[in-house]
Chain A
Amino acid sequence: MTFAMLRRGIVYVLLSLAAFVSVFPFYWMVVGATNTSAEIIKGKTSLGSALITNATAFFTQVDALRIFWNSGVIAVVATALTLLVSSLAGYGFEMFRSRLREKLFGFLLLLLSIPFAAMMVPLFVMFSQAKLVNTFTAVILPTIASIFIIFYFRQATKAFPRELRDAAKIDGLKEWQIFLYVYLPVMRSTYAAATIIVFMANWNNYLWPLVVLQTAENKTITLILSGLTAAYTPDYGLILFGTVLATLPTLIIFFLLQRRFVEGMLGAVK
């Protein structure tokens, strides 16, 4: 009894420690936004009075409205297109099996192991030849067909009851109608989880936008923050204020869809 209680106690201590380590940087980020840069690098952990100063500095140095609009447009459009294209493909691979398509799917999974770095240079040359460098189109297009999300949807589709599709066929639905009116609403949780994953990936995407977006007015918040951090003496008060703003959208989505996310993940690993 005492041994079990001791063990339980250790588990609580370790989990609390892990939770503290996980959450502290968020606290730090918020507190830092109210402190001066000098206070931050001296490790001040209490709320300060520099919030207005940091905000003013941020909004004078950064065209915030424009930059957040850029990030938002890219993330929303890319997420919508990725969900559509990749879920169609995942559904297609799972529901309509053929030997050729199985081989193709295996081949795509192999491609998953090829790093983006290997494609980066040819992609850049392609988009510069098409005169699309420094456009959102160039940022979005290569991200739409995601093998990982196709794989994710295919896994989730395995849990979609095949008899529902049979029933819908007998009810007179065409294949695209089955997808639209039966599959899509039934797989809500899967889409919710995929939305989180894809939105975050796009909102936070760094390397490819860094390569392809060149003028300041087209950059995303991620690029701007990175640029500010790279300064010789970074103004951490200003930067952490910007970081709070940049993290808010993903945090909001995360908390709104968290329950759905776990449900969706359950489907993915079945």
Chain B
Amino acid sequence: MRAVAAIARVSLQGALRSRLVVAMLGLLLLTVVVLPATIRGDGTLAGYTQVQIRYGLGAAGMILTVMTLWAAAAAVSLDVETRRVQTVVTKPVGPFTLWLGKWLGLCVMNAVLLAACGAVVFAMFLWKTREGPWDPDEARDFREHVRVARIPVSPDLAHLDRRIAEEEEAIRRDPEAPVDVRDARAVREVARQRAVARELFVAPDSEKSWRFEPPRRIRTDRPLVLRFRLAAARMSMEPVEGAFRVQAGPQTTDLIPVAAPPNRTTTLTLPPLSLAPGQPVTVTFVNRDQPAVFSAGEGLRLGVYETSFAVNYGRALLMMYVRLVFIAALGVTAGALFSFPVAAFVTGCLVFFVAMTAFVRTTPDAAHSHGGPPPEASPWEAFANRVAGAIHPVFVPLTDPDYLEMVSTGESVTWGLALRSLGFKIGVYGGLLALGATAVLRRRELGEARA
């Protein structure tokens, strides 16, 4: 353990000796202090919060990524290149200890820097969103709906698969089907869209109910909220009028009238309900107006209070930290395999691939969704899609939801999400990288004289 600590200390010192890392530290300081001063937001508290947290932490995360990537790629490779590694490997220190020490040094560096950045951004957030300067109603809404952490619960659509299958059948029988019926994936996608649309459509003067299953552990002292967004075909100031009724076991609320602006997310605080653990909630929308359709995706969600904003913010920082230490593991491993510039390049490329595969995979689907015949893919595009499709499953566990957006909109970054990220990035992929690097370092001749 002492050996690991000693190597970690040397790794940290080595990182801080790098001119690029020092320059990045300066940039980090500038970003964290100057960037919030340039933020003007859209004039609302919610808008300011989104921009400040997303870009304040986002920019810090980007700089830390570059720093980590550089320092990690250099950690082993430069030691090998300058033969400093010989002073370590000639001692009773195994390759795994070497890798672990190098990685832990970078973990400490990231922990300190990220904690400092997170604290500065949070302090600025608290200062800017303090009560004084804002409209009291807006401040109250902000406290209730944004400065919290709620778990969004989507309606239970278990029966959707049957509906999708029916829609698929209908599309295949349709001589004027909007897609090539031989393309099973396209047919499935159109069928899914139609089924979801039907599920979320409420005809005038009618009602529709959805069942929600909140998490078993739920804070009963905080009200549930309903977030919904109604789609409208035209831009109008005219709200869609209707009412919600909520039922949980024997308790049923009165009709809660709403006049919801179309194409905007509306948040409705529901009357108090005492929910037993695991008790489902049924929400009914009574449409008294024009045809209404809840937007797919985020169109109808029940928000269940989970924890405070500060805890949620901390979990977002944890997610960010896990990402950085995974990049550190990747860089240290690459440094064990290659010389410094190659290691830095390979690590950079892998980080880029992780970010881009989802984009490459979804781009053809996005083109499909605009209707018309599917675009003819060039041979290069077809090849890139195949490659992206093949490696996508490998990278999926490494991709995170947009946790900065979640925390800045009052959505909970759950412990489950954070632990999943931790488990995959450090437990599984970090472990594999450590094993690979150990195997390579064991076989690699680290003491060879320079040519």
> Is the A/B pair a real complex?
no
Q: Which residues does A use to contact B, with CB under 8 Å? A: none
Q: Which residues does B use to contact A, with CB under 8 Å? A: none
